[in-house]
Amino acid sequence: MTIANPPRDVRATQRALLLMTASATCFGAMAFAAKLASARLSGSEVAMIRFAVGLLPALLVPRYRRSALTFQRLDLLFLRGFFGGIAVLCYFIAIAHISVGVATLLNYTAPLFSGIFSMLFLGERISAKVLIPAPIALAGVFLVVHAHAQPGDILGFGRWELVGVMSAVSSGVAVTAMRAARRGENSWAVYASFCLLGLFTTAPGGISSWQTPRGDEWTSLAATSLFAIAAQLLLTFSLRWVDAMTVGVISQLAVIVSMILGATLIHEPITALAAFGSLLTIGGIVGVVYVTSWSKPPIVSADEVAPES
């Protein structure tokens, strides 16, 4: 008896799911490496170096450089790159000052804000079903930050937790710009503009707070940059075969990876309340992605649900 091989599209989808899982894992590892690098260095400096290294493939490889210089909507690429850069800047600053798991969790609430901005600025209609998972996600965020609250924090949110929320808000703006473009740009144009404008947005803080890295800090910076490049490229390669809902679900793996690495390797505490809140948040975000993906299939594409990181 002969067992038929699975169809080519099925095999491609299976490979894409593995690539997407690897991408989310790399994003989580990137956050942890950034935490190690920012023990002494500023979050702005770490983010600036991450963008500078990330820009190298588009500068050094002729084929990628030609693709990066081929674009249609410079205005939307600017908005996506600028606000994407602000998102990463805020994300890395938050990582430097609070638990890497909490910072990553806050950053990965971006789908909540991209949905709001798309409704306000693009006239997209949001299903009423979003009103079920969205409050669950927000309640989870409240529980997580409350579990790590310091004296003087308002509802558990201190200065750096608010910076983490700003990373998600900025990421939501960047994603909204991409939705307006309706995927009219090639991946390398989007990636290169993201790294270039991200470099410009992080440079003022990175240069003003510059401290020459030492020993192991170079290793952490290299790991941050390489994990970021690997995560972005793996994500790009998987997008053709993976739908938006699947990307939104698997991308939340980065939160779990960063929390586990932070807890096991640098002993960041995870209380029962924080763990429960994290599950609520991840579940709520997955629900939001599920509802928006199925209610607006022509609009929501797979590259519009993964936060900037």
What pLDDT sits at residue 303? 53
For 173-192, the pLDDT digits (tens) are 988 887 766 556 777 888 89
Query: Quick check: is 23 in a domain?
Result: yes
For 101-114, the pLDDT digits (tens) are 999 999 999 988 88
What pLDDT sits at residue 36? 98
What pLDDT sits at residue 112? 86
For 219-250, the pLDDT digits (tens) are 999 999 999 999 988 887 776 677 666 777 88
What pLDDT sits at residue 185? 72
| Top-confidence residue, 38 or 232 | 38
Query: Quick check: is 7 in a domain?
Result: no
Measuring CA to CA, which residue among 302, 292, 294, 298 is closest to residue 112?
292
The position carrying tokens 């996506």 is: 80
Query: Quick check: is 309 in a domain?
Result: no
Q: What is the mean pLDDT of the chain?
A: 86
Structure tokens at 229: 């490049």
What pLDDT sits at residue 1? 46
Query: Quick check: is 245 in a domain?
Result: yes
Look up the domain containing 226 and give its range.
13-209+218-304
Query: Quick check: is 2 in a domain?
Result: no
pLDDT tops 70 at residue 308 = no
Per cent of the chain over pLDDT 70 is 87
What pLDDT sits at residue 294? 64
| pTM score of the predicted model | 0.89
What pLDDT sits at residue 12? 76
Please, which pLDDT band fits residue 263 given cuts at 50, 70 and 90? very high
The whole-number average pLDDT for the span 1-30 is 78
Please, which pLDDT band fits residue 298 given cuts at 50, 70 and 90? very low
For 65-118, the pLDDT digits (tens) are 998 888 888 888 899 899 999 999 999 999 999 999 999 999 999 988 888 887
What pLDDT sits at residue 244? 65
Q: How many structural domains are present in the chain?
A: 1
- Cα–Cα distances (Å) from 210 to 40, 125, 202, 204, 205, in that order, read 11, 45, 12, 10, 8
pLDDT tops 90 at residue 51 = yes
Query: Quick check: is 5 in a domain?
Result: no
pLDDT tops 50 at residue 203 = yes
Query: Quick check: is 4 in a domain?
Result: no
Query: Quick check: is 161 in a domain?
Result: yes
What pLDDT sits at residue 162? 94
Beta bridge partners of 157: 154
What pLDDT sits at residue 299? 42
Instruction: Return the sign of the alpha-carbon dihedral for residues 208, 212, 217, 221.
Output: positive
pLDDT tops 90 at residue 198 = yes
Please state which of the ranges 2-11, 139-148, 174-183 shows the lowest mean pLDDT. 2-11
